Amino acid sequence: MASYSSICCLLLVFMLVSCTRGESPYRFFNWNVTYGDIYPLGVKQQGILINGQFPGPSIEAVTNDNLIISVFNALDEPFLISWNGVQQRRNSWQDGVYGTNCPIPPGKNFTYVLQVKDQIGSYFYFPSLAFHKAAGGYGGIKIASRPLIPVPFDPPAGDFTILAGDWYKKNHTDLKAILDSGSDLPFPDGLVINGRGSNANTFTVDQGKTYRFRISNVGISTSINFRIQGHKMLLVEVEGTHTLQNTYDSLDIHLGQSYSVLVRADQPPQGYYIVISTRFTSQVLSATSVLHYSNSAGSVSGPPPGGPTTQIDWSLEQARSLRRNLTASGPRPNPQGSYHYGLINTTHTIRLQNTAPTINGKQRYAVNSVSFIPADTPLKLADYFKIPGVFSVGSIPDNPTGGGAYLQTSVMAADFRGFAEVVFENPEDTLQSWHIDGHNFFAVGMDGGEWTPASRLTYNLRDTISRCTVQVYPKSWTAVYVPLDNVGMWNIRSENWARQYLGQQFYLRVYSSANSWRDEYPIPSNALLCGRAVGHRT
């Protein structure tokens, strides 16, 4: 009997060791979130720091790595972090927006447990509550390919992250108060690169070598154009998709978007301007950094190179030039072109129209006439615990109604494994930027005017880019195909943060009746409970 027990114990140990060896690696992060003095535009402000840093520490991972991120909230208000572009496969519990997570109370800790499953590329994280994004708290995310998966370019000599965007001299509490009073935000005061104003950042390169720049627009209100004086940029990746390697003098990067380019240091050794400037604004803001050649004692010279300003057609044509590299491997060894999205029949068409109504005498923003208001309980928790009265599925129509706008906690139903056509319709004269959590989508078409079924004849059904954030030009439309392959409660939102805060968002409930771990992980044992979820057991 003793011998039998010993054999069983040895078998159990062997099985546990085998499972551990087969599991993807773990990476651990401990973050302390505090207020601190920052000077992005030369004026002292109260910013949000992570481990004393602004921007926060970079996350570097490899496809399928497990990330254990322990966040301690030392602020005097609730706090959440979301992961822009990380899909949270089967795991919307970790998405970090109020529709899925209770905020981390002041003085408390929460540990995110997430996996960058089947992903590569460039992304960023940001604080999702209130108006914290205007105070910092953001940082870059790099997900590298696994060693055996070929990458369609040689390893660069260096890898730089650029977190760029607009900035306000007012603190986030003052900006939030402006919106709460029923007014819109003023024009930004300036632009920043990695949390600092002009010429405060230097990126040093060796002559003759090639470098990777990962650029994200982490601003809250404005599209930007990015360029490097005297240098071409080879586009290689957009939000996890390897692209055809087209060469650009400058790139438009809209709110919430991330691009990855290769830059060869092939010019005479000196300093060169790295420039960002606002797009589609009557007043043009700009900021600069310096590309410095290591074998040069010289500094930058001449004026920074100018870029496009209000030209929409130029930007539209550039957007259409983005193509997927069909022969390159993605996160898995199979080519990106092996998924023939254009041959799949769509199961559902959703048309989403943005508007800017006045409701109860205050400025609001809406989708299909519904201006989102948060519930007293995160929607994911209410759904899981079957708490009535928090939301109702179908509380937002899937087509524009043309009716008067109203306030609602809006949730749209979607069937797991559906394949939806989503058309973003923008009748306004401002550019819109839309993001879908939990999914990548194929940006199949965009054009001016009104979308009609005949617009489908112009779709790119072969090699369009797959991404998670897309722009919609003024008085235009953009169509995407979305594989609804991720069960959960997912935020669809404007990346213009004033619009998001004042209602231009809703939640898509991707539902599977199987109630199986195969489709969705169970609620985490450490899940925070709030609102009407208090008292329930995880």
Tens of pLDDT, residues 252-278: 999 999 999 999 999 999 999 999 999
Q: With bands split at pLDDT 50, 70 and 90, how would you rate the model's confidence at 13? A: very low
pLDDT of 313 over the 80 cut: yes
User: Looking at residues 138-148, what average pLDDT do you find?
Assistant: 97
**What is the structure's pLDDT at 2?**
38
d(CA 129, CA 359): 22
**Strand ranges for 462-527 from DSSP E:** 466-467, 469-472, 476-484, 488-494, 505-511
In this structure, are residues 84 and 123 in contact, taking their beta carbons and an 8 Å threshold? yes
User: Looking at residues 448-453, what average pLDDT do you find?
Assistant: 98
**What is the structure's pLDDT at 1?**
38
pLDDT of 109 over the 80 cut: yes
Tens of pLDDT, residues 483-509: 999 999 999 999 999 999 999 999 999
User: Looking at residues 431-456, what average pLDDT do you find?
Assistant: 98
Q: With bands split at pLDDT 50, 70 and 90, how would you rate the model's confidence at 477? A: very high
Provide CATH 2.60.40.420 ranges for the chain. Answer: 26-144, 158-321, 341-533
Does the domain spanning 26-144 belong to CATH 2.40.30.10? no
pLDDT of 18 over the 70 cut: no
Sheet holding 109-115, edge to edge: 45-50, 26-38, 66-73, 109-115
Give the amino acid at 305: P
In this structure, are residues 215 and 223 in contact, taking their beta carbons and an 8 Å threshold? no
Tens of pLDDT, residues 357-402: 999 999 999 999 999 999 999 999 999 999 999 999 999 999 999 9
Domain 158-321: homologous superfamily in CATH: Cupredoxins -  blue copper proteins (2.60.40.420)
Torsions phi, psi for 487 (to 5 deg):
-65, 140
3-state secondary structure of 221: coil
pLDDT of 14 over the 80 cut: no
Query: Quick one: fold of 341-533?
Result: Immunoglobulin-like (2.60.40)
**Mean pLDDT (the chain, rounded):** 95
Lowest model confidence (mean pLDDT) among 13-17, 23-27, 155-159, 162-166: 13-17
**What is the structure's pLDDT at 297?**
86
**What is the structure's pLDDT at 515?**
84
pLDDT of 250 over the 70 cut: yes
**What is the structure's pLDDT at 346?**
98
Tens of pLDDT, residues 49-81: 999 999 999 999 999 999 999 999 999 999 999
Beta strands at 158-167 and 210-217: parallel, antiparallel or unpaired: parallel
How many CB atoms neighbour CB 296 within 10 A? Answer: 14
pLDDT of 19 over the 90 cut: no
In this structure, are residues 238 and 186 in contact, taking their beta carbons and an 8 Å threshold? no
Distance of CA 172 to the CA centre of its chain: 20
**What is the structure's pLDDT at 17?**
33
In this structure, are residues 238 and 227 in contact, taking their beta carbons and an 8 Å threshold? no
Q: With bands split at pLDDT 50, 70 and 90, how would you rate the model's confidence at 22? A: low
**What is the structure's pLDDT at 504?**
98
Closest CA to 125 of 140, 108, 146, 113: 140
**What is the structure's pLDDT at 222?**
98
Angle (CA) 357-492-127 rounded to 5° is: 95
Closest CA to 223 of 82, 365, 55, 433: 433
DSSP 1-61: -HHHHHHHHHHHHHHHHHHHHHSPPEEEEEEEEEEEEE-TTSS-EEEEEETTBSSPPPEEE
How many CB atoms neighbour CB 327 within 10 A? Answer: 12
**Strand ranges for 168-297 from DSSP E:** 190-193, 202-205, 210-217, 224-228, 233-238, 241-242, 247-248, 250-253, 258-264, 271-278, 286-293
pLDDT: which is higher, 7 or 106:
106
